[in-house]
Amino acid sequence: MKTDITAALVNEHKLILRMIALLERNAARTAEGGYRNWQFYLDGVDFIRNYADRFHHAKEEDVLFEALVKNGMPRENSPIAAMLMEHDQGRAYVKAMEDAVQRALAGESGLNQTIAENASGYVNLLREHIEKEDNILYPLAERVIPDQIRAGILESYAAAEAKSPATLEKKYQRLIEGYEAER
Protein backbone atom coordinates (compact mmCIF):
# COMPACT_ATOMS: atom_id res chain seq x y z
CA MET A 1 0.00 0.00 0.00
CA LYS A 2 1.19 3.51 -0.80
CA THR A 3 2.26 5.82 2.02
CA ASP A 4 -0.57 8.28 2.53
CA ILE A 5 0.52 11.90 2.09
CA THR A 6 -2.79 13.74 2.57
CA ALA A 7 -4.65 12.11 5.49
CA ALA A 8 -2.88 14.34 8.05
CA LEU A 9 -3.85 17.43 6.07
CA VAL A 10 -7.49 16.30 5.79
CA ASN A 11 -7.45 15.82 9.55
CA GLU A 12 -6.10 19.35 10.11
CA HIS A 13 -8.94 20.66 7.94
CA LYS A 14 -11.36 19.24 10.51
CA LEU A 15 -10.05 21.51 13.28
CA ILE A 16 -9.98 24.48 10.88
CA LEU A 17 -13.61 23.74 9.92
CA ARG A 18 -14.63 23.80 13.60
CA MET A 19 -13.20 27.33 13.92
CA ILE A 20 -14.94 28.25 10.67
CA ALA A 21 -18.27 27.04 12.11
CA LEU A 22 -17.66 29.23 15.20
CA LEU A 23 -16.80 32.24 13.04
CA GLU A 24 -19.99 31.69 11.04
CA ARG A 25 -22.19 31.42 14.14
CA ASN A 26 -20.66 34.39 15.93
CA ALA A 27 -20.41 36.63 12.84
CA ALA A 28 -24.16 36.23 12.29
CA ARG A 29 -24.74 37.30 15.92
CA THR A 30 -22.28 40.19 15.67
CA ALA A 31 -24.05 41.45 12.52
CA GLU A 32 -27.27 41.60 14.56
CA GLY A 33 -25.47 43.30 17.45
CA GLY A 34 -25.88 40.37 19.82
CA TYR A 35 -22.29 39.17 20.09
CA ARG A 36 -19.57 41.51 21.24
CA ASN A 37 -16.94 39.14 22.60
CA TRP A 38 -14.14 40.70 20.57
CA GLN A 39 -11.61 38.39 22.21
CA PHE A 40 -13.18 35.51 20.26
CA TYR A 41 -12.20 37.17 16.99
CA LEU A 42 -8.67 37.84 18.22
CA ASP A 43 -8.40 34.19 19.25
CA GLY A 44 -9.76 33.24 15.83
CA VAL A 45 -7.09 35.38 14.15
CA ASP A 46 -4.41 33.78 16.34
CA PHE A 47 -5.64 30.29 15.44
CA ILE A 48 -5.82 31.06 11.74
CA ARG A 49 -2.33 32.60 11.67
CA ASN A 50 -0.57 29.98 13.76
CA TYR A 51 -2.51 26.83 12.94
CA ALA A 52 -4.23 27.29 9.56
CA ASP A 53 -1.37 29.29 8.05
CA ARG A 54 1.88 28.48 9.82
CA PHE A 55 1.14 24.86 10.69
CA HIS A 56 -1.14 23.72 7.84
CA HIS A 57 -0.69 26.00 4.83
CA ALA A 58 3.08 25.82 5.26
CA LYS A 59 2.92 22.06 4.65
CA GLU A 60 0.84 22.63 1.55
CA GLU A 61 2.84 25.53 0.16
CA ASP A 62 6.35 24.34 0.99
CA VAL A 63 5.93 20.59 0.65
CA LEU A 64 2.87 19.10 -1.09
CA PHE A 65 2.37 21.77 -3.75
CA GLU A 66 6.09 21.80 -4.51
CA ALA A 67 5.99 18.02 -4.94
CA LEU A 68 3.06 18.40 -7.34
CA VAL A 69 4.97 20.97 -9.39
CA LYS A 70 7.99 18.65 -9.54
CA ASN A 71 5.69 15.94 -10.80
CA GLY A 72 4.15 17.76 -13.68
CA MET A 73 1.57 20.22 -12.39
CA PRO A 74 2.15 23.72 -13.77
CA ARG A 75 2.87 26.42 -11.21
CA GLU A 76 1.01 29.14 -13.13
CA ASN A 77 -2.63 29.04 -14.23
CA SER A 78 -3.11 25.80 -12.37
CA PRO A 79 -5.02 24.44 -9.37
CA ILE A 80 -1.93 25.25 -7.29
CA ALA A 81 -1.93 28.88 -8.41
CA ALA A 82 -5.63 29.03 -7.47
CA MET A 83 -5.02 27.50 -4.03
CA LEU A 84 -2.14 29.90 -3.32
CA MET A 85 -4.29 32.86 -4.36
CA GLU A 86 -7.01 31.69 -1.99
CA HIS A 87 -4.52 31.39 0.88
CA ASP A 88 -3.62 35.05 0.23
CA GLN A 89 -7.27 36.10 0.01
CA GLY A 90 -7.86 34.39 3.35
CA ARG A 91 -4.97 36.32 4.90
CA ALA A 92 -6.48 39.58 3.63
CA TYR A 93 -9.88 38.81 5.25
CA VAL A 94 -8.17 37.95 8.51
CA LYS A 95 -6.14 41.16 8.50
CA ALA A 96 -9.25 43.25 7.81
CA MET A 97 -11.16 41.43 10.56
CA GLU A 98 -8.31 41.97 13.02
CA ASP A 99 -8.03 45.68 12.18
CA ALA A 100 -11.76 46.20 12.73
CA VAL A 101 -11.71 44.28 16.04
CA GLN A 102 -8.73 46.34 17.26
CA ARG A 103 -10.64 49.54 16.48
CA ALA A 104 -13.73 48.22 18.29
CA LEU A 105 -11.56 47.36 21.30
CA ALA A 106 -10.18 50.90 21.22
CA GLY A 107 -13.73 52.17 21.66
CA GLU A 108 -14.85 52.88 18.11
CA SER A 109 -18.48 51.96 17.41
CA GLY A 110 -20.24 50.89 14.22
CA LEU A 111 -17.78 48.16 13.33
CA ASN A 112 -20.09 45.17 13.75
CA GLN A 113 -20.84 44.89 10.03
CA THR A 114 -17.18 45.17 9.01
CA ILE A 115 -16.16 42.49 11.49
CA ALA A 116 -19.04 40.20 10.47
CA GLU A 117 -18.47 40.71 6.74
CA ASN A 118 -14.78 39.87 6.90
CA ALA A 119 -15.41 36.88 9.14
CA SER A 120 -18.08 35.63 6.72
CA GLY A 121 -15.82 36.28 3.75
CA TYR A 122 -13.18 34.08 5.33
CA VAL A 123 -15.76 31.41 6.22
CA ASN A 124 -17.08 31.14 2.66
CA LEU A 125 -13.65 31.26 1.06
CA LEU A 126 -12.02 28.67 3.32
CA ARG A 127 -14.95 26.26 3.33
CA GLU A 128 -14.90 26.06 -0.47
CA HIS A 129 -11.12 25.98 -0.48
CA ILE A 130 -11.02 23.01 1.88
CA GLU A 131 -13.70 21.23 -0.14
CA LYS A 132 -11.60 21.60 -3.31
CA GLU A 133 -8.48 20.33 -1.56
CA ASP A 134 -10.23 17.37 0.12
CA ASN A 135 -12.16 16.29 -2.96
CA ILE A 136 -9.99 17.28 -5.93
CA LEU A 137 -6.42 18.34 -5.21
CA TYR A 138 -5.49 15.83 -2.51
CA PRO A 139 -6.94 12.82 -4.39
CA LEU A 140 -5.03 14.04 -7.44
CA ALA A 141 -1.83 14.25 -5.37
CA GLU A 142 -2.40 10.70 -4.14
CA ARG A 143 -2.61 9.59 -7.79
CA VAL A 144 0.38 11.45 -9.24
CA ILE A 145 3.03 11.62 -6.49
CA PRO A 146 5.40 8.67 -6.97
CA ASP A 147 5.97 6.17 -4.17
CA GLN A 148 9.68 6.84 -3.84
CA ILE A 149 9.26 10.44 -2.69
CA ARG A 150 6.40 9.86 -0.24
CA ALA A 151 8.53 9.13 2.81
CA GLY A 152 10.47 12.34 2.11
CA ILE A 153 7.21 14.30 2.01
CA LEU A 154 6.23 12.99 5.44
CA GLU A 155 9.68 13.95 6.76
CA SER A 156 9.25 17.45 5.35
CA TYR A 157 5.84 17.73 7.06
CA ALA A 158 7.48 16.75 10.33
CA ALA A 159 10.21 19.36 9.80
CA ALA A 160 7.56 22.02 9.09
CA GLU A 161 5.64 20.99 12.22
CA ALA A 162 8.78 21.20 14.32
CA LYS A 163 8.79 24.98 13.74
CA SER A 164 5.62 25.19 15.87
CA PRO A 165 5.39 24.33 19.59
CA ALA A 166 4.58 20.66 20.20
CA THR A 167 1.53 21.68 22.26
CA LEU A 168 0.01 23.77 19.44
CA GLU A 169 -2.70 21.35 18.35
CA LYS A 170 -3.82 20.56 21.92
CA LYS A 171 -3.89 24.24 22.82
CA TYR A 172 -6.16 25.08 19.90
CA GLN A 173 -8.39 22.06 20.44
CA ARG A 174 -9.05 23.36 23.94
CA LEU A 175 -9.58 26.92 22.70
CA ILE A 176 -12.14 25.75 20.15
CA GLU A 177 -13.92 23.49 22.65
CA GLY A 178 -14.25 26.47 24.97
CA TYR A 179 -15.93 28.61 22.34
CA GLU A 180 -18.11 25.72 21.17
CA ALA A 181 -19.45 25.51 24.73
CA GLU A 182 -20.22 29.25 24.73
CA ARG A 183 -23.91 30.09 24.38
What residue ranges bind Fe ion (CB under 5 A)?
A: 60, 133
Environment class of 122 (CB within 10 Å of its CB; exposed 0-12, middle 13-18, buried 19+) = buried
Of residues 50, 49, 44, the one with CA closest to residue 100 = 44
| Least spacing, CB of residue 38 vs Fe ion, in Å | 27
**Closer by beta carbon to Fe ion, 53 or else 99:** 53
| Least spacing, CB of residue 13 vs Fe ion, in Å | 6
**Closer by beta carbon to Fe ion, 43 or else 60:** 60
- Is the alpha carbon torsion for 17, 18, 22, 23 positive or negative? negative
**Closer by beta carbon to Fe ion, 91 or else 171:** 91
| Least spacing, CB of residue 64 vs Fe ion, in Å | 9
**Closer by beta carbon to Fe ion, 98 or else 133:** 133
Q: Are 30 and 119 in contact (CB under 8 A)?
A: yes
| Least spacing, CB of residue 161 vs Fe ion, in Å | 14
